[in-house]
A = this chain, B = another copy of it.
Amino acid sequence: MNANPGGWNRAMGLSFVRVSADEVVAEWQVQAQHLQPYGIVHGGVHSGVIETLCSVGAACHAGAAGSAVVGLENHTSFLHAVRSGKLRARASPLSRGRRTQIWEATIVDEGERKVATGRVRLLCLPADGELAGQKIDVRG
């Protein structure tokens, strides 16, 4: 697991439970910073957590070959509105190619009811690649 979770993951209070190239699991307690104006969890929190988990898993797989990954597309479906409690997300790979990967993640509430699910397509970058004008620093 990355020693540096990144500012967004920290702001969202995301806590990693398991991290590997085959599966990533994380959870968080619903708090004020997760809500949209109606008082339910903001769809962007679901999309973002799905983005995090799929990226972390894909990075584990790519990192074993010395490369990095960057997200191309995130498609998230919202299944049930939720107001409170602990949420848990689990990601697993659909395809892990040399050039791209695609991962899928699903978020459930404490009663194991699916609240959101999504897929992220990621591009594999060469180890000596650049991203937004800087060498990729995969140390996190």
Question: Assuming the A-B contacts A37-B5, A38-B140, A80-B132, are A71 and B43 also in contact, with contact meaning beta carbons closer than 8 angstroms in the complex?
Answer: yes
Interface string of A13-40 (1 = CB under 8 A from B): 0000000000000000001111111111
**Interface range, A side:** 35 or more
Q: A63 to chain B: closest CB distance in Å?
A: 12
A86 lies within 8 A of chain B by Cβ = no
Name A82-104 residues within 8 Å CB distance of B.
82-83, 94-95, 99-100, 102
Beyond A47-B51, A81-B70, is A11–B9 a contact (Cβ under 8 Å)? no
Binding site for B on A (CB under 8 A): 2, 4-11, 31-40, 42-45, 47-52, 55, 68, 70-83, 94-95, 99-100, 102, 114, 117, 119-121, 123, 131-134, 136-138, 140
